[in-house]
């Protein structure tokens, strides 16, 4: 574990040096990412121009949920670039052959070969929204609260990575340049809003099939003092471990099934 953490830090620093060598391009990418997130937030503002509350949730509370959701999502977006393009770059083009020849775990190489550094701008934006809403509602986190935010953020990032890793593994059996990741990626937006506003089937899917609710909604609701979701907080680490273990098992099976491009 120490070796891989050290390697990850070195990979990240080296990629950051290369990316920041074009500072103007990087700054524009950060601004574009933040602007895209701001457009999503504008939807919340537009909705609350017409209704004071949605399913018992106020504007500030939903904005708090939105801000918290940016924390695990931004970390996931930072490391998940190659999962999004895995089918085309690694399977169809045969790049995965090179990965298997190196003396480092294949999954580690895929996740750490490239980063989307501009996504970290959403981390800063999420923290600003979180603190602003917390101050508006009179919430104080303290050391325990911030530790919970950190752990929940890491669990959320791990859940997102596990879900999309399993979707990525479909490429080992079905070679397709697009893959199944892009359509499911759009479902991430569901976790930014209270699950109460969805039907029972959608709530079940977002909790136990594609557990985006555990990645953002349930921990944010806990910070807001919603006792109805307390049980889910205790289940969050278990769900995270279960999905990560399942994703690793599917990945291992997919790697064994890989037969190269033949070129």
Tens-digit pLDDT profile for residues 50-108: 778 888 899 999 999 999 999 999 999 999 988 888 888 888 888 899 999 988 999 99
Q: What is the rounded distance in angstroms from the CA atom of residue 97 to the CA atom of residue 259?
A: 9
Residue 166 · residue 246 · CB < 8 Å? yes
Provide the terminal-to-terminal Cα distance of the chain, rounded to the nearest Å: 35
Predicted confidence (pLDDT) at residue 261 exceeds the cutoff of 70: no
- The Cα 164–Cα 158 span in angstroms is 10
Q: What are phi and psi of 54, to 5 degrees?
A: -125, 115
pLDDT digit string, tens, across residues 118-132: 999 899 999 999 999
Dmax (CA) of the chain: 62
pLDDT score at 171: 86
Q: Is residue 262 part of a domain?
A: no
pLDDT in tens, 158-196: 999 999 999 999 888 887 666 667 777 777 878 788 898
Total domains, the chain? 1
Per the domain annotation, does 75 fall within a domain? yes
Instruction: Kindly state whether residue 263 falls inside one of the protein's structural domains.
Output: no
Q: Report yes or no on 116 lying in a domain.
A: yes
Domain span at 172 = 2-257
**How many Å apart are CA 139 and CA 143, to the nearest integer?**
13
Tokens of 143: 């050391």
User: Within a 10 A sphere around the Cβ of 125, how many other Cβ atoms?
Assistant: 19
Query: Could you tell me if residue 10 is inside a domain?
Result: yes
Return the number of other C-beta atoms located less than 10 Å from residue 148's C-beta.
Answer: 16
């Amino acid at each position: 574990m120490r070796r891989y953490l050290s390697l990850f830090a070195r990979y990240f620093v080296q990629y950051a040096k290369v990316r920041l060598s074009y500072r103007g391009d990087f700054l524009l990418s950060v601004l574009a990412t933040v602007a895209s997130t701001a457009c999503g937030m504008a939807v919340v503002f537009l909705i609350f121009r017409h209704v004071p509350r949605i399913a018992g949730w106020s504007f500030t509370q939903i904005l708090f949920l939105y801000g918290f959701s940016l924390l695990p999502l931004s970390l996931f977006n930072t490391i998940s670039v190659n999962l999004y393009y895995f089918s085309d770059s690694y399977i169809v083009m045969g790049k995965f052959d090179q990965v298997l020849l190196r003396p480092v775990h294949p999954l580690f190489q895929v996740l750490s070969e490239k980063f989307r550094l501009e996504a970290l701008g959403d981390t800063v934006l999420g923290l600003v929204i979180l603190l602003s809403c917390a101050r508006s509602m009179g919430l104080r986190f303290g050391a325990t609260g911030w530790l919970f935010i950190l752990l929940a953020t890491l669990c959320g990032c791990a859940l997102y990575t596990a879900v999309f890793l399993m979707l990525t593994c479909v490429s080992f059996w079905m070679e397709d340049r697009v893959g199944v990741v892009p359509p499911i990626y759009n479902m991430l937006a569901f976790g930014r809003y209270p699950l109460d506003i969805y039907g029972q089937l959608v709530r079940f899917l977002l909790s136990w099939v594609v557990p985006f609710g555990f990645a953002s909604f349930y921990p944010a609701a806990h910070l807001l003092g919603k006792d109805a979701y307390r049980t889910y907080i205790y289940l969050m680490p278990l769900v995270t471990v279960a999905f990560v273990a399942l994703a690793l098992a599917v990945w291992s099976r997919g790697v064994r099934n890989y037969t190269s491009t033949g070129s």
